[in-house]
Structure 1
Amino acid sequence: MTPGPLAVNTSTFVGLQIGGFWGAVAATLGCVLCGVVISLFLYNFFQKHQNSTYIFEILNGLKSASLGLIISAAATIIILALFGTNKVYFNSIFEMLNWTALIIFFVTLLIVRKWKINPIVIIIISGILGIFFYL
């Protein structure tokens, strides 16, 4: 399979299996071409209307929505890491809390903030600690 997003990988692989080289080319173009055409259309539209206050406000709204989605995903990951489930009941929050994960989180946060160590190193160390404590 080729490296890249799953849809492109799958379409390339299926196209190759069914139609050989040209089948892979056609399947990949069929998967990618729609997104490219829409992106080019939106690029031209925003270039033409870049000074419009309506477009400016729409883009600001999209920025806010994107930030909300990122925060929601981060909160879901944090809750899953600290509680082991995505359902947290506030009357039993301290019994559900994974204290080891919480300690690892705060120690790594302290290390990153105080000594400015590369976050990739912190991720590797946290992974090793997770393997040590949970396996």
Structure 2
Amino acid sequence: MILLKLFLSFLQIGAFSFGGGYAAVPLIQDQVVSIHSWMTMGEFTDLITISQMTPGPIAVNSATFVGLRMAGLPGAVIATLGCILPSCIIVSILAYVYLHFRKLDMIQGVLKSLRPAVIAMIAVAGLDIIISSFWNGAGFTASFSSVNWIAAGIFAAAVILLRKFKQPPIRVMLLCGLLGLIFL
């Protein structure tokens, strides 16, 4: 039964995560944390961190990790297959349609209208992860005393290193991991 749940959950994620890996994060969170309670929010944050650090798409890495955790190697295979199957089918169909109708204004309009929705999905997932990290999974409170200032400082340092100094993401992640090991 768990294999079927894994397959169907990640099939939904694979079918509805338009806009790339970060757009899939709220869908993965909903399935893994909210609906099935396979992970806590803190574990989910760790999952996204690990999925980002390892090669490959976030959704596929998450599917493999969750599947392995819940049902061993068969679970990893089934969850991963569920995650990639919709993409394979949808991309094949869209490639065919796009090649034949790409010059139509309607197609261009649809693609442009999806961008704001994808940005909103990414922003919501990012805010959920920030709240989980800065308030230790307790949820947002207006009290500054409950803020994990070390995590907030590591976040600020990462933003500065990535945006101002244009450091490679892997270097920043390794440095932040080291800072977390030392201070947290």
TM-score, with structure 2 as normaliser: 0.50
| Residue 37 of structure 1, CA deviation | 3.2
**Following the alignment from structure 1 to structure 2, what is the Cα–Cα distance between the partners of residues 42 and 113?**
34
What is the match of residue 44 of structure 1?
A: 96
RMSD: 3.1
Give the aligned length. Answer: 114
What is the match of residue 146 of structure 2?
A: 96
**1:7-32 CA-partner distances (Å, limit 9, x unpaired):** 6x88xx64xxxxxxxxx9xx8xx866
**Following the alignment from structure 1 to structure 2, what is the Cα–Cα distance between the partners of residues 111 and 37?**
39
Q: CA 1:104–1:43 in structure 2 vs 1: closer, same or farther (change >3 Å)? A: same
What is the match of residue 82 of structure 1?
A: 134
Give the gaps of 5 or more residues in structure 1. Answer: 15-23
Q: CA 1:58–1:96 in structure 2 vs 1: closer, same or farther (change >3 Å)? A: same
112, 121, 127: which is aligned to 2:177? Answer: 127
**Is the 1:112–1:119 Cα contact (8 Å) retained in structure 2?**
yes
Q: CA 1:114–1:45 in structure 2 vs 1: closer, same or farther (change >3 Å)? A: closer
Q: CA 1:62–1:100 in structure 2 vs 1: closer, same or farther (change >3 Å)? A: same
Give the gaps of 5 or more residues in structure 2. Answer: 1-55
| Residue 106 of structure 1, CA deviation | 2.4
Q: CA 1:101–1:55 in structure 2 vs 1: closer, same or farther (change >3 Å)? A: same
Q: CA 1:127–1:46 in structure 2 vs 1: closer, same or farther (change >3 Å)? A: same
**Is the 1:80–1:86 Cα contact (8 Å) retained in structure 2?**
yes
**Is the 1:76–1:86 Cα contact (8 Å) retained in structure 2?**
no
Q: CA 1:86–1:71 in structure 2 vs 1: closer, same or farther (change >3 Å)? A: farther
Q: CA 1:47–1:113 in structure 2 vs 1: closer, same or farther (change >3 Å)? A: closer
Which amino acid is 1:79 matched to? I
**Following the alignment from structure 1 to structure 2, what is the Cα–Cα distance between the partners of residues 102 and 33?**
38
| Residue 86 of structure 1, CA deviation | 5.8
| Residue 33 of structure 1, CA deviation | 5.8
**Following the alignment from structure 1 to structure 2, what is the Cα–Cα distance between the partners of residues 79 and 33?**
32
Which amino acid is 2:151 matched to? A
Which amino acid is 2:98 matched to? F
| Residue 56 of structure 1, CA deviation | 1.0
| Residue 38 of structure 1, CA deviation | 2.9
Runs of 4+ in 1 over 6 A off after TM superposition: none
**Following the alignment from structure 1 to structure 2, what is the Cα–Cα distance between the partners of residues 102 and 34?**
37
TM-score, with structure 1 as normaliser: 0.64
